[in-house]
Amino acid sequence: MRDSFLNHDWITDEHRAYGDSIRRFLSDEFQPNRAAWTAAGVVDRGFWIKAGAMGILGASAPEEWGGQGLSRSFDLVTFLEQARIADTGWGISVHNIVLHYIVALATPDQKARWLPRLCSGEWVGAIAMTEPGTGSDLQAVRTTARADGNEYVLNGSKTFITNGQNAGFVIVVAKTDPAAGARGISLIALETEGAEGFQRGRNLEKLGMKRQDTSELFFDEVRVPRANLIGDEEGKGFGQLMIQLPWERLMLSYMALGAARCAYEDTLRHTRARRAFGQRIMDFQNTRFKLAEVKTEIELLAAFLDRLMAELEAGTLTAERAAMAKWWSTEMQGRTVDTCLQLHGGYGYMSEYRISELYADARVQRIYGGTNEIMREIVARSIDRDEI
């Protein structure tokens, strides 16, 4: 039987076998704890360690630093399996982004120090860009990293940081030269254990993604070795962030696709089983047309994303094409979960039906990873370069 979740151009037998092992892992280790972690607002640290031991966290990291040396398509399999069970609480996508910042930008010494611990799950990764005063306008960050001898001294605060409660390793976006605008931004790695002056704030309550810890972080004269400047040159942070964003946005787009598939399949099950006016809900033309639209959009999105995945692997994925995928896929996800919830009737609004969780979780996809307005801005900038 065709597997609708792992139905992609790049899927091989190896990916399918990998998907089987992820599915078993999530079924054995995640699902039994799902309700407890939802209530706690955070996924247990022990689960991260188990995922690390399974090789899931470092699947696409080089073998010499504790990874499995696989392509990033294997990480996509993990995200698609996560979508199959309608989970968004385990912040593995952010952990993966952090890991790839290190793979792409860190010095060999930094890789040796940090990657094995990120791959094993000893550390959960977070990236701290957003501040109470600025989100979309990244150049306006006010957190500073003041050089002092062999150390940087961090001061400032961040908010909405995914994995903020669990993180043992945080990439902090800070100004090493506050007067230099975007050219004054650097990425500083903070190893949180025992870091004096570092404080985690509240685990913020949210509309959806209830299991995911999203936090404030505070830095008050936090001392970090100069050797924790990612890369070996100050002021490169803005460009470093831009290089990695296409992967982050492609990942979010595949997650949108996975969530749409999950909503579609739940709705097929529900509308086939439930009856009104002497027939199945599925037999009303409205239901059939709505689901025909959803099915079409899922196919169209999958085709576009697979093309972008090939471009990512070839090193040619551009910022504007990743931005196109991010805004369109997440808006399609929003339309889909709304349509599918409607077809569930009142049951769709009940927490015990998965579609209600899919609905609540979908909303933020249009906001983080760069808002969809900023995505349109990036695409719009490319219009002027179009030859006619």
Ligand X SMILES: Cc1cc2nc3c(=O)[nH]c(=O)nc-3n(C[C@H](O)[C@H](O)[C@H](O)COP(=O)(O)OP(=O)(O)OC[C@H]3O[C@@H](n4cnc5c(N)ncnc54)[C@H](O)[C@@H]3O)c2cc1C
Binding site for ligand X (CB under 6 A): 94, 127-130, 135-136, 160-162, 206, 209, 214, 364, 367-368, 371, 373-374, 377
Tokens of 134: 């600025």
For ligand X, which is the closer residue by CB, 304 or 368? 368
Catalytic residue, chosen from 81, 131, 216, 248, is 248
Minimum Å gap between C-beta 273 and ligand X is 33
* Helix (H) or strand (E) segment spanning residue 159: strand 151-162
- d(C-alpha 202, C-alpha 225), whole Å: 27
Tokens of 357: 């969780």
Minimum Å gap between C-beta 94 and ligand X is 5
Give the number of other Cβ atoms within 10 Å of residue 310's Cβ. 14
One DSSP character per residue, 201-258 reads EEE---SS-TTS-EEEEEEEEEEEEGGGBSSSSTT-HHHHHHHHHHHHHHHHHHHHHH
For ligand X, which is the closer residue by CB, 15 or 211? 211
What is the C-alpha end-to-end distance of the chain, expressed in Å?
Answer: 46
DSSP 152: E
CA atoms within 13 A on the CB side of 327: 16
For ligand X, which is the closer residue by CB, 204 or 227? 204
Minimum Å gap between C-beta 251 and ligand X is 13
Minimum Å gap between C-beta 127 and ligand X is 5
158 in Cβ contact with 126 (< 8 Å): no
251, 199, 159, 39 alpha-carbon torsion, rounded to 10° = 70
Catalytic residue flag (residue 248): yes
At 51 the three-state DSSP class reads helix
Please identify the residue of the shown chain whose CB is closest to the bound ligand X.
135
- d(C-alpha 312, C-alpha 304), whole Å: 12
SS3 content of the chain, % helix, strand, coil (to 5): 55, 15, 30
Minimum Å gap between C-beta 149 and ligand X is 29
For ligand X, which is the closer residue by CB, 130 or 240? 130
177 in Cβ contact with 195 (< 8 Å): no
For ligand X, which is the closer residue by CB, 14 or 373? 373
For ligand X, which is the closer residue by CB, 214 or 339? 214
Minimum Å gap between C-beta 126 and ligand X is 6
Active-site positions read 248
